[in-house]
Structure 1
Amino acid sequence: MQNSSHMARYGARLVTNGYAILPIAPGTKKPGRFQRGAWVDYPEWNRHAARPTTEVEVATWSAWPDCGVGLVGGAVAAIDIDIAEDAELALKIEKLARDRLGDTPALRIGRAPKRLLVYRAAEPFRGIKRHPLEVLCLGQQFLAYATHPDTGAPYAWPEEGLADLDISELPAITADAAAAFLEVAQAMLPEAVRQRGFIVKPSAHPHLTGHSQTGTMPAIQAALEWLPNAELDYDSWMRIGMALKGALGDEGKDVFAQWSAQAAKDVPGTTLKAWASFKPDRIGAGSIYHLALERGWKPDASLRLDGSMDCAEAHPAAGLLSQLGGTSKPSKETDDHTAYTLHMPDGLVGDLTAYMLSTARRPQPLLSLGASLCAIGALMGRNYRTESNLRSNLYIVGIADSGSGKNHAREIINEVFFEAGLAHHLGGNKIASGAGLLTALHRQPAILFQIDEFGMFLSAAADRKRSPRHITEILDNMTELYTAAGGVFLGAEYANRDGSNERRDINQPCLCVYGTTTPLHFWGALQGANVVDGSLARFLILPSDDDYPDENLAAGIRQAPPGLIHGLKALAAGGGLQSGNLTGMTAGQTTAVTPITVPMSDEAKARFKELSGTLTEELRAARGTAFTAILARIGENSLKLALIVAVGRDPARPIIDLSAAEWAIGFVRHFAARTMEAIERHVADTETEAHLKRLKEIIRAAGAKGITKSEITRSSQWLKARDRDEILLTLIESGDITTGMRDTGGRRAMVYRLSG
């Protein structure tokens, strides 16, 4: 059945015409995401203001049911004429806008006589509001193609729609011109139309606004006395209503009705209908208190503000203080991390890992295991396969801080490969270009690259805007080679085939990559597009839980065990079962090879079948999210690891048994879950979003005791003071962090903590 959503019909055309767009949840005016079978809020939507909309995003959003299309302000600005009672006045304001700002062909009608005119911004500027008029621009969005939540009909474009207008066809306006228009337009409005609303300012009292959503009836009623409904605008009326419901639940219905009735235009039936529709999840008592405090309210010391606390408090902030005394409950994800125990597999994988750990100055078990899996995978490449033709090619990234000992595993692999006469399986320390990668693979089709500072490499390879093509082709080639291991990789065709430019095909290439990096460099290098397009999903990401393990002072001169060297040689030779061109350097790049097919026990088959069913359910639930690419690779990566462990146990007669299957599935599932959690916490598409997430991580690291403002400042000196304050306020208002008080050095200081 053809998708008839507004996004599917108009999204690609709007992007082609130069507009930045975003998905709108059906029946609403706000950005949304279709996640796990349901529409949810999209709080970080304004990341799209800083970059063009990608084809991948449009394709993803077009698959979401009944998805509307919003336009992101910045490159465009819109004159919103929110006058519903006087059609003649609305038309006069429209004419004034056309006379002063330009005769734009882009007029949008939602609920007439309200109207909106779209212009091109000569330079992005912040929106300007003079109720009931507003100029929407940077940091704001408006609906382009969607169903109006009140009329139930699509928004109309009486002249020309933006899907048929290139952005260059819109008249350009400036911030000064927009402000001048609003001043003239305001003078045309009768006093009765100039309703006043609540302008939300950054709080000077964050210790009173950043706590539980729940309030108490006495405190809410006291605060409302400072917030009279003097013919407020619709947005302010809605904001107070949702905040009341968030603060008091259904007990606040009568409070809202009485407060709303203060205005002459109140319609009791509409008020009750609006109350029933409110579903606040991040707005509540804090918003009421915030607005009242800005207007001079000074809460009595006997008032208990936080309704989530059972006992009366001596001070409005005392509820917050009591919360700081205990420890926060760990999240489910944290519990899962704690429950998982890393076990080393036996066989060659375990032997190589054990040798790394015994010789390391600062042993890193997880990173050593990751390096061993890649090394064994490269040596057995083209010699072994699963019954489904999966191979042992792996991409693994080990993450640990500087000075943590993450380089040791790479050094050991270099040494043992040279000692075993297998150095031809080692690629260089750096990959200079996509062509260089293919040249190395053509010379040796089963090869291991070990890359230090992998985050910096990835930053360049993933940056299609600033990096040259020969660098970005590295990641493109890696992505294609990952899925070509069981077949033939066809090289590039050149116009001039003079010998040096001959097409280079590679039969069953086995590329293994082991990179090490610091957390900051790795997560800072990624953008949301890398998650959506699946390039990140091909990597197993292994973050060390101990950046600075105890030092092994006995580590010194080392000598590889003879049994380990012998085992590596036997593995590279196919367990003694292969001969001819499958051994050593003589493996032809274009020669057809027939690897050993490693069987699987019935118990292991049943376990992988069970995994497949579970992952299918999880993929369906995650439809439309960035995580489907990662979930889709869990089964494949688990089977690869089970193959490597099985061959490492017995290269001559390998079998994937239940123990290998259980170990591989548990390992991959755990670190895939940690990767998805890390993406939520770290991956950003804009500088503003990156700053917000980094600041949130600083607060997270402080734990239950919290962190003071001065400590935050010292840890985030890359931020300007104003930006830091705005981010903190955003995190408080979104409910991501809370504030409270604690004793520091004999005095009370306000602290910030992560919510939950």
Structure 2
Amino acid sequence: MTDAAGFMASHGERLVDNGYPVIPIMPGSKVPGRFTAGRWVPYADWTRHADRPTKSFELDIWRRWPGSGVGIACGAVVGIDIDVTDAGLAFELARLAGEMLGETPCIRIGQAPKRLLVYRAAAAFPGRKRLPLEVLAHGQQFVAHATHPGTGQPYAWPEETLLDLPLASLPVVDEASAMAWLDRAYGLIPPDQRPHSLRLDGSEGEWRGPSDPRGTYDAVKAALAYLPNEDLDGHSWITMANAIKAALGEEGRQLWLDWSKSSGKSGQSGKSDTAERRWKTLRPHSIGAGSIYGWAIARGWVPPPEVTLNAQAAERAGQPHPAVGLLAKATAAPAPPPRYRVPPELLAVDGVLRRFVDYAMSTAVSPQPFLALGAAICMVGALAGRRYRTPTDLRSNVYAIGIADSGGGKDHARRCVKRVLYAAGLDRYLGGEDLASSAGLLTSLQRHPARLFQVDEFGQFLKLVLAPRAPAHKAAIWAELTKLYTSAAEPYIGAEYADQKARPRVTIEQPCACIWGVTVPGPFWQALEGGALADGSIARFLVFLTDEDYPERNEAPAPMDPPADLVAAVQAIARGVPGHSHGGNIADAMEASAPIHAYTVPLSPDAEGAMQAVRREATDLLRSHRGTYATALFGRHAENAAKLAMIAAVSRDPARPVTEARDIGWASRLVEHCIGTMLREAESKISDNDTEAKHKRVLEIIRDGGRLSRSDVTRRSQFLSRREREEILASLVEAGLVVVEQEAGTTKPTTYYAAVVPNDLPLFAGRAR
């Protein structure tokens, strides 16, 4: 096996089948990576894979990356890394592991005699390093299959490999036993084989924080606890002295003396004041608190959020702020984060779309114009089914979802659609309001091949059909909906069964199935946590999320009787273009087997240019988001824009429709808004695991609050333990998603948290609006 052949392509699937969480490794290295824009780059957030199994769509993407090695994300898996070059000692340490932790048949050799032993964790726990030994645990990783950068040869598994042994078959270790082995094993390392340097010269000690060398006493003391003085060499000893003195000045003297005296070498020279005399001679430069923090973080230290790292920041916090009055007002009434709004130009429609939205708004107690627009689009799409096509042979079948909270009026537009179609004598276009089985869905379309299915509680429906253990008849519904979506321009040919008399093959000529589903937010976003967003199955749906769950009430709604002009307009769409033969009288009657000749809706010259620009932009978006779940959404961008533009043209003039540039502009903006809604809400609401869900929930609390004191954050996150809260806040601060500030109080400084408002570029750029 070579890098060129791709270890992920050869071994990834078997490892995943055996229960191991795999990650891609950059060729010729030990570093997790991503292949994007034609090159390998480090994979910054690979640690998310430590908390869940690898998903099939991830593996499908990674196996196509050239030369990808295979790493194992630790968490459920534990690696005992023995990084010693003495063959006898390496064997003895491995024997001790077998005695204390159990014999494991999975031993990986990179550069002999160094070795790594693989175990299964009873419960996830953090790793620990005592060089040259390390327990690789939660949030860490090791390479399983790749070419070793030092030897140029593939990693070897002299006994059994993870390819042949499921995760559940590995011997189990817990944190206590792993750390007990580490302590005993470290005692066997001869002094001359222990590292006598803090390794201060490499990237491990590189600090990318504030350039001010000064730190705070509490922070430096906490960091030093992670930097034991295990008989270090003289250079490291002096380097640490310089770093402490630069960070704290004379205040750090006692910390230095205590740290220095913790070494076994202290006092061996017969002089008890060596550290004291060295301190007086120090003149530090180019080093400081940041170096200490960096070395400690590399060894597992997480700075507590209540501890200020920078001295200048601590000094500012201890003094009244120059704008204390203004800050007090801001604290009393924090500015709320920008609200999600539906751009008003999306509602600037005409024709049947306009008439229906006005009808639904005037008759509603809780008017929801954006949801009314979504329902109108699906209704027109069904009525135009098998009657109209785009020049590229796209049809008017549309899948859309309306999202609003309970009691917000999300069902009203559904009721209005039924009223209109019944008044127009077009109720045959209405499918069932519940999809019970795939067979029922196909039978409905056999009776009338152009139908609108209006489904209530669509989020619960999705949770049922997308569940990993969904009943077969429910899971089949989702598969049929996917097939029907892509069969609107051709015959749909169903499955063949042995007993053709009892179960004849279903054939439907150019079916047009439109879906308008309504749901509350929670179940819908929960349904997408199984991977539907990434595998493209939900990308066919346009998401209409209301910007006001509880709008101002209409205390005097109009009667529900549809206006005559609206009824006449929908009847005109159902008739199609006068004088155009759709395939004869049988086709006009909507027979499932009738040949179809849909009318091609032309584009004006300006619309042609606008549509070409939309296609180019869609391609650019796909390229820039290669390897992410966003490509599934961007892949439908141009297609949905073309469909909606045609629907707008038919809505305006069903007798002689022409797609104008304004239709392309409106349709593209609507699709962009729906995609942006999906991506934004997915980022904040869809989680791969419970840990990520808690992080996102705390971040949402801080974002919604604008600027919250520590006590406010605690009060609003009672679902967390104190330890969880501290770890999550520290993680959010470290990731740059939250900033922490301190202000002087009457007795002690008050800590505040605020979410960082990203200076994002527009998701869709490159076209003038």
The TM tier, using the shorter chain, reads 0.7 to 0.9
Question: Which of these residues, 386, 391, 394, is aligned with residue 390 of structure 1?
Answer: 394
Q: Do residues 504 (structure 1) and 514 (structure 2) align?
A: no
1:371 maps to a residue whose letter is: A
Q: Do residues 82 (structure 1) and 75 (structure 2) align?
A: no
**Equivalent residue runs for 1:108-127 within 5 Å:** 108-121=108-121, 123-127=122-126
Q: Do residues 555 (structure 1) and 551 (structure 2) align?
A: no
Cα distance in 2 between the residues matched to 1:3 and 1:317: 62
Compute the displacement of 1:681 (Å): 2.3
Cα distance in 2 between the residues matched to 1:298 and 1:692: 22
Compute the displacement of 1:658 (Å): 1.2
Q: 1:78, 1:116 within 8 Å by CA — same for their partners in 2?
A: yes
Q: 2:12, 2:22 within 8 Å by CA — same for their partners in 1?
A: yes
- 40-49 or 353-362, larger mean C-alpha shift: 40-49
Q: Do residues 616 (structure 1) and 619 (structure 2) align?
A: yes
Question: Which of these residues, 363, 366, 371, is aligned with residue 367 of structure 1?
Answer: 371
Q: Do residues 515 (structure 1) and 517 (structure 2) align?
A: yes
2:316 maps to a residue whose letter is: E
- 432-441 or 508-517, larger mean C-alpha shift: 432-441
1:144 corresponds to which residue? 144
Higher relative contact order (CA 8 A, sep 6+): 1
Q: 1:742 to 1:414 in 2, by over 3 A?
A: farther
Partner SS state of residue 53, structure 1: coil
Matched pairs, number: 693
Q: 1:418 to 1:397 in 2, by over 3 A?
A: same
**Residues 28-85 of structure 1: per-residue CA shift (max 9 Å, x gap):** 545444455565665654443454323322120122344332113344332111335x
Q: 1:293 to 1:696 in 2, by over 3 A?
A: closer
Compute the displacement of 1:91 (Å): 2.6
Q: Do residues 473 (structure 1) and 473 (structure 2) align?
A: no
**Equivalent residue runs for 1:308-387 within 5 Å:** 313=316, 315=318, 341-387=345-391
Partner SS state of residue 669, structure 1: helix
**Residues 103-136 of structure 1: per-residue CA shift (max 9 Å, x gap):** 5443223345432012345x44425536233433
Q: Do residues 446 (structure 1) and 450 (structure 2) align?
A: yes
Question: Which of these residues, 405, 417, 423, is aligned with residue 401 of structure 1?
Answer: 405
1:653 corresponds to which residue? 656
2:434 maps to a residue whose letter is: K
Q: 2:342, 2:547 within 8 Å by CA — same for their partners in 1?
A: no
Q: 1:15 to 1:600 in 2, by over 3 A?
A: same
Task: In structure 1, list runs of 5 or more residues that go unmatched.
Answer: 199-211, 249-257, 266-275, 307-311
Cα distance in 2 between the residues matched to 1:320 and 1:494: 78
| TM-score (norm: length of structure 2) | 0.79
1:304 corresponds to which residue? 312
Q: 2:3, 2:27 within 8 Å by CA — same for their partners in 1?
A: no
Q: Do residues 573 (structure 1) and 575 (structure 2) align?
A: yes
2:6 corresponds to which residue? 5
**Residues 154-207 of structure 1: per-residue CA shift (max 9 Å, x gap):** 552151573642326964233265455445434423467677999xxxxxxxxx
**Residues 499-536 of structure 1: per-residue CA shift (max 9 Å, x gap):** 3x222121111111111222222212212621221112
Q: 1:286 to 1:360 in 2, by over 3 A?
A: farther
- 137-146 or 597-606, larger mean C-alpha shift: 137-146
Identity, % of aligned pairs? 38
Q: Do residues 24 (structure 1) and 28 (structure 2) align?
A: no
2:358 maps to a residue whose letter is: A
Q: 1:407 to 1:193 in 2, by over 3 A?
A: farther
Q: 1:118, 1:170 within 8 Å by CA — same for their partners in 2?
A: no
2:642 corresponds to which residue? 639
**Equivalent residue runs for 1:526-541 within 5 Å:** 526-527=528-529, 529-541=531-543
Q: 1:367, 1:544 within 8 Å by CA — same for their partners in 2?
A: yes
2:600 corresponds to which residue? 597
Partner SS state of residue 373, structure 1: helix
2:64 maps to a residue whose letter is: A
Q: 2:127, 2:138 within 8 Å by CA — same for their partners in 1?
A: no
| TM-score (norm: length of structure 1) | 0.80
Q: Do residues 157 (structure 1) and 143 (structure 2) align?
A: no
Question: Which of these residues, 614, 629, 632, is aligned with residue 629 of structure 1?
Answer: 632
Q: 1:573, 1:582 within 8 Å by CA — same for their partners in 2?
A: no
Compute the displacement of 1:669 (Å): 2.0
- 389-398 or 63-72, larger mean C-alpha shift: 63-72
- 359-368 or 73-82, larger mean C-alpha shift: 73-82
Cα distance in 2 between the residues matched to 1:433 and 1:368: 28
Q: 1:601, 1:657 within 8 Å by CA — same for their partners in 2?
A: yes
2:425 maps to a residue whose letter is: G
Q: 1:215, 1:305 within 8 Å by CA — same for their partners in 2?
A: no
Q: 1:585 to 1:387 in 2, by over 3 A?
A: closer
Q: Do residues 217 (structure 1) and 213 (structure 2) align?
A: yes
* Greater Rg by CA: 2
Cα distance in 2 between the residues matched to 1:40 and 1:145: 19
- 721-730 or 627-636, larger mean C-alpha shift: 721-730
Q: 1:581, 1:587 within 8 Å by CA — same for their partners in 2?
A: no
2:312 maps to a residue whose letter is: R
Q: 1:304, 1:315 within 8 Å by CA — same for their partners in 2?
A: no
1:430 corresponds to which residue? 434
Q: 2:318, 2:749 within 8 Å by CA — same for their partners in 1?
A: no
Cα distance in 1 between the residues matched to 2:539 and 2:322: 44
Cα distance in 2 between the residues matched to 1:683 and 1:319: 42
**Residues 620-645 of structure 1: per-residue CA shift (max 9 Å, x gap):** 22211111111111000000001101
Q: 1:37, 1:623 within 8 Å by CA — same for their partners in 2?
A: no
1:572 maps to a residue whose letter is: A
Compute the displacement of 1:24 (Å): 2.9
Cα distance in 1 between the residues matched to 2:611 and 2:402: 26
